[in-house]
A and B are shown apart, each in its own frame.
Chain A
Amino acid sequence: MNKKELNIILAVLGVLIVILGYLNLSVKSEYKEKKAKYLEFEKSSYEIFQIKRMQKKSKNIIKTLIAIKQPKVSKRGNRIIYQFENLNLGDLNQLLKKIKGSFVPIKSLEIKRDTTNHAMIVLEIVK
């Protein structure tokens, strides 16, 4: 192989390097963009998953609340109202603790003193 042929190969390789360099740059930037989008997607997915999981758990909380004290239940549109009456201090604190610790979708929460030693909770949640 003479020098001329070597030079031609060198020139071809040079052109290849330039083309591949350009392709690499584009694929790298595409990669970075895709990675950033994926990471954002993954983060969002995880957050959504966490929130959905909390919401799912909250469904079970209502059963727990009912187990502590049987409420009066009424429905208004897409809302459900649980009225826990005649609660002594123990029941009141237990119910409030469960509500606070849960992720049950509260529309409104009202705590009223019934008598000196008893109270009631009106819990309105969104379906």
Chain B
Amino acid sequence: MSFFKRTAGKIIFFTKNSPKYFTGEYSLILSPQFYWVKRVKLPVKSEFRAKKLAPSIFEGSLPENEEFFYDVKYEKDRDTFIVIAYSKKYIFDEIRKKIAPTAKIKGIYFAQHELGDLKTCIAIDEDISLGNVDGLLIQVPSKCIQSEENVRNYLPKVKLSNKKIKIDSLVDNEADKQLTILYLSIATILVISQLLSYFAYSRDLNKYDSKKESLIRQYNLPRTSFQLQSIKRTLLKRYKEQKSIRDVMTNLDKIALNDAKFIDILINKDSAKFVLEANPQDFEDIKRSFQKYFTITNANTLDNILTVEVEHE
């Protein structure tokens, strides 16, 4: 089901003498000069089967080294077939000479099929005319026959059939084809880049596996990150405890003691106790000095003895 009517564009009768077309949409009716026609009686009834026999009908009468295609039309009243042989390449080459890629070709038809019911001779241009000889159209010089009508006047009356040459690689599709080839090239490049990227990442994934293996062997480590983290946590905890003890020892050197002297220093993993002998007047200064570096949890005095208990992390 189609919602839009497909237009055939302007119908032109195409000969080697046709002018050049640069823009617009056209349906070309090919002059008989572009193909070979035969009327034959065949032992088949369908056009499909007749088409299969077509190459043998033209055997020996067509130029060699060229690929030919065939079209068949059944004439019911005569019980014969009109068989057309044509070279797509030849036709396309001729069309390319006259129809610019910017112009669009909607269809290519055979004059034999489209104008087969022509009763009189018609002039194509000043030099050539189209004649009908027993139902077969022929192109003849205008001076040989008397043409009563011009093809330009006749064409608007023509109702195009569905017998046309497939234009899958024709002039108007050339630009499309080139565009498709461009898309293909881009797509191919994309596929290749994606593939390369995929393989590169896959290889790097394995690289990390082997690197990890190497680390495990080098440092004699457990295999899983969970075990590793557990070991790390334990070691870091011990490291922090030990560092804290060293920090206490370092900070002790910074405490302003005035004339006081340590009697006893006891440092544990999270606390420390300092016993000092000092002038009682200096006790407060000494405690303030301790406060700069530690959190005092307890402080006692007895005569000239000061005991300070601190905590550290």
Residues of A within 8 A of B (CB): 2-4, 6-7, 9-10, 13-14, 16-17, 20-21, 23-24, 27-28, 30-31, 34-35, 37-38, 40-42, 44-45, 47-49, 51-52, 54, 96, 99-100, 103, 105-113
0/1 per residue, B131-171, Cβ < 8 Å to A? 00000000000000000000000000000000000001100
* A24/B194 in contact, CB under 8 A: yes
Task: Kindly list chain A residues whose C-beta atoms are within 8 Å of the C-beta of B194.
Answer: 17, 20-21, 24
> Which among B168, B202, B245 has the highest number of chain A CB atoms within 10 Å?
B245
Task: Please give, as numbers and ranges, the residues of chain B lying within 8 Å of A107 by CB-CB distance.
Answer: 268-269
Of B187, B198, B219, B269, the residue contacting A27 (CB under 8 A) is B198
A23/B198 in contact, CB under 8 A: yes
Interface presence of B232 (CB below 8 A): yes
Interfacial residues of chain B within 166-205, with CB under 8 A of chain A in the complex: 168-169, 173, 176-177, 180-181, 183-184, 187-188, 190-191, 194-195, 197-198, 201-202, 204-205
**Option from B183, B190, B235, B246 in Cβ contact (under 8 Å) with A100:** B246
13 residue pairs bridging A and B, Cβ less than 8 Å apart: A6-B177, A13-B184, A24-B194, A24-B197, A31-B205, A34-B209, A38-B211, A45-B219, A45-B228, A47-B235, A48-B228, A100-B249, A111-B262
Looking at the complex, which one of A20, A47, A110 makes contact with B264 (CB distance below 8 Å)? A110
How distant is the Cα of A111 from the Cα of B180 in the complex, in angstroms?
89
Chain B residues within 8 Å of chain A by Cβ, number: 51
**CA gap between A94 and B211 in the complex, in Å:** 44
Cβ A96 vs Cβ B184 within 8 A: no
* Bound Cα distance from A13 to B184, whole angstroms: 8
| A108 contacts across to B, CB distance below 8 A | 266-269
Q: State which of A31, A103, A106, A113 has its C-beta within 8 Å of the C-beta of B204.
A: A31
**Is the beta-carbon distance between B201 and A4 smaller than 8 angstroms?**
no
